[in-house]
């Protein structure tokens, strides 16, 4: 927390991201309540579940700490798609393009799901405005 405070007081644009030492929902709570990072990487496989991933993002948001929905390169395309929905629903600050170690496939899977989700949300909004 001291490093974050020093950086903030100096007006630095450098950001502290907590990653490997912050794996469980309880770890995330301790880091964000202590203001020990500017951004938390929330690893869906480590935190426990999709529901816990959402809880972790909301915990970060409530404490004004950035939320980065990350994960593992070994996740499936379905888990990546589910992470998109959690990220959008909770307004996460960032999301990892996953799965895999490459860029193209992961970027396409996540990007396509984001586009599908936003199209559905826009259609619902237009429908609601039309009848409302």
Domains contained in the chain, CATH given: 2-127 (3.20.20.120)
* Global pTM value: 0.88
pLDDT at 121 over 90: yes
pLDDT by residue (tens digit) across 46-99? 998 999 999 999 999 999 999 999 988 888 999 999 999 999 999 999 999 888
Q: Which of 43, 61, 64, 130 is catalytic?
A: 43
pLDDT by residue (tens digit) across 100-119? 888 899 999 999 999 999 99
Q: From CA 87, how far away is CA 91, in angstroms rounded?
A: 6
Contacts of 132 (CB under 8 A, 6+ apart): none
Residue 43 designated active-site: yes
């Amino acid at each position: 927390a001291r490093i974050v405070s020093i950086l903030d007081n100096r007006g630095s644009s450098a950001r502290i991201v907590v990653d490997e030492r912050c794996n469980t929902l309880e770890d995330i709570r301790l880091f964000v309540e202590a203001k020990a990072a500017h951004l938390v990487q929330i690893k869906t496989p480590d935190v426990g579940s999709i529901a816990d991933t959402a809880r972790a993002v909301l915990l970060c948001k409530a404490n004004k700490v950035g939320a980065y929905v990350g994960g593992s390169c070994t996740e499936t395309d379905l888990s990546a798609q589910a992470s998109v929905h959690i990220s959008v629903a909770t307004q996460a600050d960032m999301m990892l393009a996953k799965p895999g170690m490459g860029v193209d496939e992961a970027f396409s899977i996540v990007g396509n799901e984001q586009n599908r989700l936003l199209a559905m949300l826009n259609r619902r909004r237009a429908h609601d405005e039309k009848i409302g």
